[in-house]
Structure 1
Amino acid sequence: MLSHEDNETLVRVGPGTTMGDMMRLYWLPFMASSDLEKDGQPQTVKLLDETLIVFRDSEGRVGLVDHICPHRGAPLVFGRNEDCGLRCVYHGWKFDVDGNVADMPAEPPRSRLKDRVKIKSYPCVERGGVVWTYMGDEPDESRPALPSFEWNMVPEENVVVTFRVQECNWLQALEGEIDSAHAPILHGRIDDGGSINQWVAKRDLRPTFECMRQDFGMSIASRRVLDDDTLYWRVNQFVMPFFSLVPPQSNEFYELSGHAWVPIDDENTLCIMFSYRPDEPLHPKSRKVFLDGHNGRETGHPSREGFDDQGAQVPFGRYVSKYRRETGWLFDNEAQKTTWFSGLPGLWVQDAACQSGVLRVYDRTREHLCTSDTGIAMTRRMLLETAHAFRDSGKKPDRFDDPDLYLVRAVSLKLPKDLPWAEAGKAPMTAKVGEGLGYEL
């Protein structure tokens, strides 16, 4: 368990907090490019407990600016997005994507006021259909490069990226994915159907864990016995500051996957899921079930029909799902009795309900960690050491600004029992865009 003080250090992400300020060192993914139309309706977003407005101007540039007009405090979400700027509907003040005032209709022509007024803005870059922003203090010339995450650099046909809001702190969500012990249990069935029941990890529900600290974060390896001579290793990756990578499964629909667990505020998380193949298009069936669900159930991705759009005035309103605390995640007690171990309608819903069903910020002093929580305990320790060093001396995480640091893959390996996973996995855990896995699933 964590002390109350350590828990507070890790979960608080607003301006002036240790974790919030450290996360501002990094580029943050936060929206699908396709959800921003030229001169379209501005959208409210919230990142690291800052409420902002995002819009795409007439020339296709993305602006991320303060949500309040500096004139008299009117909400800019109602602004007219036109002629390369966002015009407040109250008095017509107009702002460009950099926060500069482009027009003040009620001011005299010779007024110098617009030269003295500027709203907060953050730079945005698009790559692979995702909008990223940098909320740190570094100027253009010393700003870190966009991280070279493989999922964000493969061709469009190789990847699916989806967005949803989850009602809990970012760390609770992250820890659910780096904990691989839960997967064959929470996601299992009580009948004989489904791929989870045939999954090799289902054969051994008591994995042994080994962790290795890396420059990028942490490798969490789970070992299961396959037979007398062979071990099955699944190595999940935690990549600073909030990314998790999940190994592929052994079937024709394999893909590499993971999440960015982007903090909205202390109690809500923007969950960006990516599934991809590095060297070939995703299987058409995989793409379809990711986007549409399967037989009325959710996969690891939120389905297109599963959203409950809350409108542009709600932060990330279009990414709010009907499967949430307010609706009880549409738990089905009859399905729990007959088919699904959890009774919850799909993979990500099962995870989200367990991660956020009790408290949005869980009191970790009440935990009783066990052997299968080794990866979680080690990751927390690493995060605390990094956060304390940053808070106490200003030391930034090693190589955080090296884009190639993020060329990482999670792996699933069947190895002779005397071959160390770290040795066998060193090459396949290094991502090479355009190249295959480098091993047999």
Structure 2
Amino acid sequence: MRRKAEGTLLMLSHQDNERLTRIGRGAPMGELFRLYWIPFYPAKDLTADGQPKRIKLLGEDLVVFRDSENRVGLIANACAHRGAPLMFGRNEACGIRCVYHGWKYDVTGAVTDMPAEPPASRLAARVRITAYPCRERNGVVWTYMGPDPLNPPPLPNMEWNLVPDENVVVTFRVQECNWLQALEGEIDSAHAPILHGRIDAKGAIADWIAAKDLKPMIQSIRQDFGVSIAARRQLGNDKLYWRVNQFLMPFYSLVPPQSKFPDLSGHAWVPMDDEHTLCLMFSYHPTEALSERTRAVFLDGHNGRESGHASRNAYAPKSPTTPYNDFWTKYNPESGFLFDYESQKALWFSGLPGLWVQDAACQSGLSPIYDRSTEHLCSSDAGIVMVRRLLLDSAADYNQRRAKPPGVDDPDVFIVRAVSLTLDEGIGWADAGDRVMRARPGSGFGYQL
């Protein structure tokens, strides 16, 4: 990233865009991601001795399954014998058995049976396929793909994955673009009242405080967990409205609550490969069960439109040979995200059917890896610039000096919240928000929404 002498923000160079978006093994960002635990599958969708599921994570072709003893295994899709796909394997008696020649693997990747080999063969003891440790917490399966699988760091203490089940909704979907394009959409406060707005001045969106000032002033600060990105809007009467989004290393975003929508939300933007992202969305309340109405909107949409979550009606499952086959949606570049020009003329500024669809269309409608060297950044992109710099610095620090970011080994670094604050002019948001931005599991917001 570079700046003109007068301070105008410049675009990413082609080289830096490549560094940030390429996530395979050996790539700087790929090696950085492998330091962290990665949330990657809903636990309820894996049944003991049930169908193995093909997935992709960080460019690797893998299969996830739950064995007869309820342990989750994440192993290479290719059988070590002759490369037959284990996604067709028989999940039985504590392992996956390849249907080609019957080689069987347990959750550690060890070969436990080779039916076509003679009894005296010692080949099974010498063969092992790639396997990654998995842990479950509050309905989500996590994996560690890092350099020391026998001694992984602790799971990160993120509030959305610690609250009671009735307080949270977590959904998964696939998006057809690289992880960074998806992430940057959610840490950009300037777009929300524009992209998600209506032209008929009806509905709850018209009452957003953010919609009353479309020219926010952005301030950002680096934190031990990542970056706090604050958008300041004028309220009048010497009052300022601050919405502070959070970027958490390496691929999380947190969105502030609003008075009419008093829940916290965000995403894990998990790279499947260079051009596809697993979007894990969470919405939760720190102290209260989500209402049935709120849960229904998240899971079923509202009046035929999508909320921030992919509804049950959004999915368009693919064949079992497709990674994450159950989590692809009908809103994609091929379908034009079901853009409706008549709706754009009469009701919705974007003409796109719901919140996450509007975001996804802008993030992935043009190209899975957009050439950021053609951008012309402006003042509202200051937070995005700081996040890019942090990522590039962190990747360089680790790949060149093996210096790990703070959150890798300290799980409590991530106990934070995004916040919405109304403050008098002259009061700094960082100082005023320091206490309430630190989450205290089981405690309320600590301020008036």
Same fold (TM over 0.5): yes
1:256 corresponds to: 264
1:154 corresponds to: 163
1:99 corresponds to: 109
Structure 1 unaligned runs (5+)?
none
What root-mean-square deviation, in Å, do the aligned CA atoms of Structure 1 and Structure 2 show? 0.8
Query: Could you report, residue by residue, the CA deviation over 1:268-318 in whole angstroms, capped at 9, with x for unpaired residues?
Result: 100000000011101221110000001111000000111001032111110
- Is 1:78 equivalent to 2:88 in the alignment? yes
**Contact 2:187-2:246 at 8 Å conserved across structures:** yes
Question: What amino acid sits opposite 2:254 in the alignment?
Answer: L
1:271 corresponds to: 279
1:425 corresponds to: 433
Query: Could you report, residue by residue, the CA deviation over 1:54-97 in whole angstroms, capped at 9, with x for unpaired residues?
Result: 01111111010000111111111100001111011111111111
Structure 1 residue 110, shift from structure 2 partner: 2.1
Q: What CA distance in whole angstroms lies between the structure 2 residues aligned with 1:103 and 1:133?
A: 25
2:35 corresponds to: 25
1:366 corresponds to: 374
1:216 corresponds to: 225
- Is 1:137 equivalent to 2:147 in the alignment? yes
Question: What amino acid sits opposite 1:197 in the alignment?
Answer: A
Q: Secondary structure of 2:289's match?
A: coil
**Contact 1:96-1:102 at 8 Å conserved across structures:** yes
1:404 corresponds to: 412
2:62 corresponds to: 52
- Is 1:172 equivalent to 2:181 in the alignment? yes
1:14 corresponds to: 24
Q: Secondary structure of 1:281's match?
A: coil
Structure 1 residue 396, shift from structure 2 partner: 1.4
Structure 1 residue 228, shift from structure 2 partner: 2.4
- Is 1:343 equivalent to 2:348 in the alignment? no
Q: What CA distance in whole angstroms lies between the structure 1 residues aligned with 2:25 and 2:120?
A: 37
1:108 corresponds to: 118
2:8 corresponds to: none
**Contact 2:37-2:144 at 8 Å conserved across structures:** yes
**Contact 1:42-1:312 at 8 Å conserved across structures:** no
Q: Secondary structure of 2:435's match?
A: coil
Superposition TM-score, scaled by structure 1 size? 0.98
2:384 corresponds to: 376
**Contact 2:133-2:149 at 8 Å conserved across structures:** no
Structure 1 residue 139, shift from structure 2 partner: 4.0
Structure 1 residue 399, shift from structure 2 partner: 4.0
Structure 1 residue 391, shift from structure 2 partner: 2.0
Q: Secondary structure of 2:394's match?
A: helix
Structure 1 residue 398, shift from structure 2 partner: 2.5
Question: What amino acid sits opposite 2:272 in the alignment?
Answer: I
- Is 1:184 equivalent to 2:184 in the alignment? no
Q: What CA distance in whole angstroms lies between the structure 2 residues aligned with 1:238 and 1:403?
A: 16
- Is 1:440 equivalent to 2:417 in the alignment? no
**Contact 1:235-1:412 at 8 Å conserved across structures:** yes
Question: What amino acid sits opposite 1:165 in the alignment?
Answer: V
1:39 corresponds to: 49
Structure 1 residue 192, shift from structure 2 partner: 2.1
**Contact 2:132-2:149 at 8 Å conserved across structures:** no
Structure 1 residue 383, shift from structure 2 partner: 1.2
**Contact 2:307-2:355 at 8 Å conserved across structures:** yes
Structure 1 residue 401, shift from structure 2 partner: 1.2
Structure 1 residue 400, shift from structure 2 partner: 2.2
Q: Secondary structure of 1:168's match?
A: coil
**Contact 1:216-1:240 at 8 Å conserved across structures:** yes
Q: Which runs of 4+ in 1 moved over 6 A?
A: none
Q: What CA distance in whole angstroms lies between the structure 1 residues aligned with 2:396 and 2:112?
A: 43
Aligned residues: 439
**Contact 1:310-1:318 at 8 Å conserved across structures:** yes
Question: What amino acid sits opposite 2:190 in the alignment?
Answer: A
Q: Secondary structure of 2:210's match?
A: helix
Structure 1 residue 128, shift from structure 2 partner: 0.9
Structure 2 unaligned runs (5+)?
1-10
Q: What CA distance in whole angstroms lies between the structure 2 residues aligned with 1:397 and 1:294?
A: 40
- Is 1:239 equivalent to 2:248 in the alignment? yes
Q: What CA distance in whole angstroms lies between the structure 1 residues aligned with 2:399 and 2:290?
A: 42
Q: What CA distance in whole angstroms lies between the structure 1 residues aligned with 2:201 and 2:181?
A: 31
Superposition TM-score, scaled by structure 2 size? 0.97
Query: Could you report, residue by residue, the CA deviation over 1:226-262 in whole angstroms, capped at 9, with x for unpaired residues?
Result: 11221000000000000000000112x4100000000
**Which of 95, 98, 115 lines up with 1:88 in the alignment?**
98
**Contact 1:41-1:81 at 8 Å conserved across structures:** yes
Question: What amino acid sits opposite 1:136 in the alignment?
Answer: G
Identity %: 64
Query: Could you report, residue by residue, the CA deviation over 1:19-56 in whole angstroms, capped at 9, with x for unpaired residues?
Result: 00010000000000011111111111000000100011
Q: What CA distance in whole angstroms lies between the structure 2 residues aligned with 1:390 and 1:84?
A: 37
2:208 corresponds to: 199
**Which of 294, 304, 311 lines up with 1:296 in the alignment?**
304
Q: Secondary structure of 1:137's match?
A: coil
2:72 corresponds to: 62
Q: What CA distance in whole angstroms lies between the structure 2 residues aligned with 1:70 and 1:381?
A: 40
Q: What CA distance in whole angstroms lies between the structure 2 residues aligned with 1:399 and 1:191?
A: 45
Q: Secondary structure of 1:29's match?
A: strand
Q: What CA distance in whole angstroms lies between the structure 1 residues aligned with 2:414 and 2:227?
A: 12
Query: Could you report, residue by residue, the CA deviation over 1:175-233 in whole angstroms, capped at 9, with x for unpaired residues?
Result: 00000100000000000211111111110000001001000000000000111221000
Structure 1 residue 157, shift from structure 2 partner: 0.2
